[in-house]
Structure 1
Amino acid sequence: MTEQIKSYLKENRDTHLKELTDWLAVPSVSALPEHKEDVRKGAQWIADELSKIGMNNIEIYETDGHPVVYADWLKAEGKPTVLVYGHYDVQPVDPLELWETPPYEATIRDNKLYARGASDDKGQTFMHLKVLQAILETEGTLPLNFKFCIEGEEEIGSPSLPKFIENNKELLEADVIVISDTGMLDRGKPAICYGLRGMCAMQVDVTGPNSDLHSGLYGGAVQNPLHAITELLQSFRDDNGRILIDGFYDNVQELTEKEREAFRALPLTEEALKQQLGVTELTGEEGYSHIERTWARPTLEHNGIWGGFQGEGIKTVIPAEAHAKISCRLVPNQEPDEIIEKVKAHIEKHKPVGIDVKVTLFDKGAPYVTPFDHPAIQAAARSYEKVYGVPTAFTRGGGSIPIVATFDQMLNIPVVLMGFGLSTENFHAPNEHFHLENFDKGMETLADYWFELEKSIKKEPSAL
């Protein structure tokens, strides 16, 4: 990155923040039908901005759901191509009363930008646009070719994007994908996430008698659905945190010793986590550290359980039904569909007598991992370190971004998760915010990265 680019970013900072504020004012909530037109406005805003900064071939593609915005700049002859992915949709703002300032009126306090989407993911996506604009304005050209794929359904699981990718593989063909929708290790401590867990989620409905029953008249003679569902849930794990579903661990890819050493070197202690969460002990699968359990081991969690009388006081009934929601986080080589079938088989094998069980499936997504010694990832690490002045950590994410695995499987190119958010920034919660320190340093890092990446990778022959 040249000094001219760095100066351009500093001189135009106020303008950039004003532009971002305009985008954050659009309530592009993909989950709520009443915001359908607002989501479309969000797509149009980013399309207009891509045109403004000098991108070409801009198009808003219709899908079965919300639109996908595409743009490109392909004038760096013979150079590799980067596909930048982001999303312009945001989470609902409820509960509104917990926001200190209106969620769609961006406000700066203590060098933090408060608004829905500030960190996840409008702010981080916007940074990519401004960096390319800065390079074009100062250099007149870009060191690489660029394509953009910015969708409007990430916050509802990207249901339309896999089909879009499948139908547009040639359009999206690139040498590397860069996504800024993850976080840093801590303030001033950059990190590159090289792996994500997959997931599958489902609801278990247990039904027994044809109506609620008087517990005095029928208790002891009829199966209680609440007893049955708690018995089922208890059957999933042993006392040491190991999941007891037949074949659950069959395909799990174990951590390498190099990865375990890297995790141990990170400044993430059990004591610090206990203090942060306000708990006295951590639990989990025996034989693994808390980092390994949350980043690289599969889980099965009970997310909710309900049934019977919920009001004040007591109502002595045997309920007619009971329900639970469960989710599994999956690691490389575990296939969501296979795990779902294993869970269903376990339920059928262990269900108590006198009840019926129905399983309803929800979200699912494959896990993803890229070797962290890949040249594109190492180039990102060097750029982070150059700007932040400290070594870059290599982490895995315990959560899931299903579309990352979809990109990996369909386009067969490396994905660099190069985020600038912090875990404390309340994304998905009231008072979401983005540290402007990372808005500034993040753009410097990205500006440096494109030149670093140009030196580090070569254009690959098409595999499509």
Structure 2
Amino acid sequence: MTTIEQTLAAKREQHLKELSDWLSIPSVSALSEHKEDMTRTAQWTADQLTTIGLENVEIMPTKGHPVVYGEYLQHDDKPTVLIYGHYDVQPVDPIELWDTPPFEPDIRDNKIYARGATDDKGQTFMHIKALETLKAVHGELPINVKVMIEGEEEIGSPNLDAFVEQYKEKLKADVLVISDTTMIEKGKPTVCYGLRGLAGLQVDLKGAKGDLHSGLYGGGVQNPLHALASLLSSMHDEKGRVTVEGFYDNVIPLMDEEKAAYDALNYDESALIEELKVPELFGEEGYSFLERTWVRPTLEINGMFGGFQGEGIKTVLPAEASAKISCRLVPGQDPDDIVERLDAHIEKHMPKGVTFTTTPFDKGKPFVTPYDHPAIQRAGEALEEVYGEKTAYTRMGGSLPIAETFSEILDLPIVLMGFGLPSENFHAPNEHFHLENFDQGLRAICNYYEKLSKTGLS
């Protein structure tokens, strides 16, 4: 009988040709000029799902770009896996920094270069080909699957919440699998089981009716920039801890097993210092860099502006000053609650002599799948067997609103099983995907779905 390894080896060139065809379509969701390309990409995706033997394949409309859906539901006694990916890609600017055209895929140094190569067409394509391979080898899929591939992730998935809510019965599953994240480092298989949430706001301070001459009014009228600096400095203490009242009240602490797993990674903070060219790392006292960026909440000033910005000096007392503030949140924290606490802190600590307004930004809740959940552990085992390296179980510091959407509406565990690398220039010129992870990842996904077929999840 032909094995998975043999089938993948025999089909490798065909798979790369098909992936190149998909990458050649400029499915840039942010630009209206690519609307027809988005439609063409959705059709290409639907044709692939039909070709590999999925049933009830549909191109489902939304208020924006469509969602492509297909399913295989043949087993009463096997778990159902919902596979999520996205077929849209980022704009390519600045085009002059690309070594080869972004929509003319080029393979060199065992990497494929193209927009979408790693984010997320390449990784989504691997799941499609893994299902095709499993069906070819076994004559059927070992699990039930539902595949959902959207076209708006790169513009914030504005229609996803409504779509998932509308079709929550159709999308019901035992586990959600997403490959749209990175491995912790080259050669180190990684399963991510949690992401931080997001909340933030802009604060705008208003002083006098217009800019004032600093010689005539300085020292006698509040300077909004001074007031802003004072306000922002009140939000942290000297040890990096956020001083907003109640900010940490509901934070769920890290489990001992998780802390031990992070410590076992032996993360080289000195190498990071060298890479970033900073004199030292800084953050909340008492926590490692990984803990600070994965499992602790933060408050960051993302931008400050006001006053004269041109060359030289203009001696004015500006009329306005503003700052953008974002918070990364961890399980137990609620974005709405945090924004209310920020507002209360701003009102309490606002210096005299100015008025202010705040404007909240988009919010996203944190999520975590229990570290010891069978779906997480089987993923780690599948990766370890293929890569021959112990799997890193991580949380990640960024936010993925789509994951929170699925977690909140469908109430199912989420496995983030990424095969990209942090160095692959996603969202930047010369995006690429290492083909060693394409090859090993395909085997690992096949291995994972076979393992899930023998695992009780429901």
State the TM-score bracket (shorter-chain normalisation): over 0.9
Residues 1:402 and 2:384 are matched in the alignment: no
Please give the residue correspondences for 1:39-438 in structure 2 after superposition, counting only pairs within 5 Å. Answer: 39-438=38-437
Deviates more, 1:203-212 or 1:242-251: 203-212
Amino acid at match of 1:265: A
Q: 1:299·1:330 contact (CA, 8 Å) conserved in 2?
A: yes
Alignment partners' CA distance in 2, 1:393 and 1:296: 15
Counterpart of 2:115, as a letter, is: R
Shift of 1:290: 0.8
Cα distance, 1:40 vs. partner?
2.9
After superposition, give the CA deviation of every residue in 1:22-64 in whole Å (9 maximum; x if it has no partner): 2112222223333333333322221121112211111122222
Q: Which amino acid aligns with 1:149?
A: M
Q: State the secondary structure of the residue aligned to 2:281.
A: coil
Aligned to 2:35: 36
Deviation at 1:223, TM superposition (A): 1.7
Identity %: 62
2:360 maps to a residue whose letter is L
Structure 1 residue 19 corresponds to structure 2 residue 22: no
Q: Quick check: 1:87–1:152 contact (8 Å CA) kept in 2?
A: yes
Q: TM (normalized to structure 1)?
A: 0.95
Superposition deviation, residue 451 in structure 1: 0.7
Q: Tell me if the contact between 1:240 and 1:286 (Cα under 8 Å) persists in the aligned partners.
A: yes
- Asked if structure 2 preserves the Cα contact closer than 8 Å seen for 1:60 and 1:70, the reply is yes
Structure 2 counterpart of 1:128, one-letter code: H
Report the residue type matching 1:257 in the other structure: D
Note closer, same or farther for the CA distance 1:105–1:186 as it changes in structure 2 (3 Å cut): same
- Could you say what secondary structure the match of 1:29 adopts? coil
Contact 2:117 2:433 (C-alpha < 8 Å) held by counterparts: yes
Q: Which amino acid aligns with 2:267?
A: L
Question: Cα offset for 1:3?
Answer: 5.2
Q: 1:415 to 1:436 in 2, by over 3 A?
A: same
Residues 112-165 of structure 1: CA deviation (Å, up to 9, x unaligned): 111111111110000000111112223211001110111122222222111111
Label 1:267 to 1:110 Cα distance change in 2 as closer, same or farther (>3 A).
farther
Answer whether contact 1:157 1:363 (CA < 8 A) is retained.
no
Query: Does the residue aligned with 2:6 lie in a helix, a strand or coil?
Result: helix
| TM-score of the two chains, using structure 2 as the length reference | 0.97
State the SS of the aligned residue for 1:183: coil
Q: Is contact 2:24–2:103 with CA below 8 Å preserved after alignment? A: yes
Q: For each residue in 1:370-410, what CA deviation from the matched residue of structure 2 results, as whole angstroms up to 9, or x when unmatched?
A: 12211111111111111101111111101111121221121
Counterpart-to-counterpart distance in 1, 2:438 and 2:38: 24
Whether the 8 Å contact between 2:207 and 2:354 is mirrored in structure 1 is yes
Amino acid at match of 1:197: R
Partner of 1:288, secondary structure, is coil
Give the aligned residue type for 1:92. Answer: P
CA distance in 2, matches of 1:371, 1:7: 35
Which 5+ residue runs of structure 1 have no aligned equivalent? none
Q: CA deviation at 1:313?
A: 1.5
1:51 and 1:58 in contact (8 A); partners too? yes
Q: Distance in 2 between matches of 1:37 and 1:308?
A: 44
How many Å separate the matches in 2 of 1:167 and 1:268?
Answer: 43
Kept in 2, the 8 Å contact 1:113–1:434? The answer is yes
Q: Give yes or no for the alignment of 1:454 onto 2:453.
A: yes
Cα distance between partner residues in 1 of 2:2 and 2:268:
39
Gaps of 5+ in 2: none
Q: Is the 8 A contact 2:2 2:137 kept in 1?
A: no
Determine if contact 2:79/2:452 at 8 Å carries over to the other structure.
Answer: no
Moved more, 207-216 or 192-201: 207-216
> Once the two structures are superposed, what CA deviation does each residue of 1:57-105 show, in whole Å capped at 9, x if it has no partner?
1112222222221111112343211100111122222222222222222
Q: How far apart, in 2, do the equivalents of 1:34 and 1:308 lie?
A: 37
How far apart are the structure 1 equivalents of 2:177 and 2:284? 33
Find the aligned partners of 1:278 and 1:423 in 2 and give their Cα distance: 18
Q: Is this contact kept in 1: 2:191–2:376, CA < 8 A? A: yes
Q: Secondary structure at the match of 2:439?
A: helix
CA distance in structure 2 between the aligned counterparts of 1:225 and 1:35, rounded to whole angstroms: 43
Contact kept, 8 Å, 2:200 with 2:360, in 1: the verdict is yes
Structure 1 residues 343 and 215: CA distance shift in structure 2, 3 A: same
Conservation of the 8 A alpha-carbon contact between 2:65 and 2:152: yes
SS of the residue aligned with 1:301?
Answer: strand
Question: 2 CA distance for matches of 1:450 and 1:175?
Answer: 13
Residue identity opposite 2:265 in structure 1: L
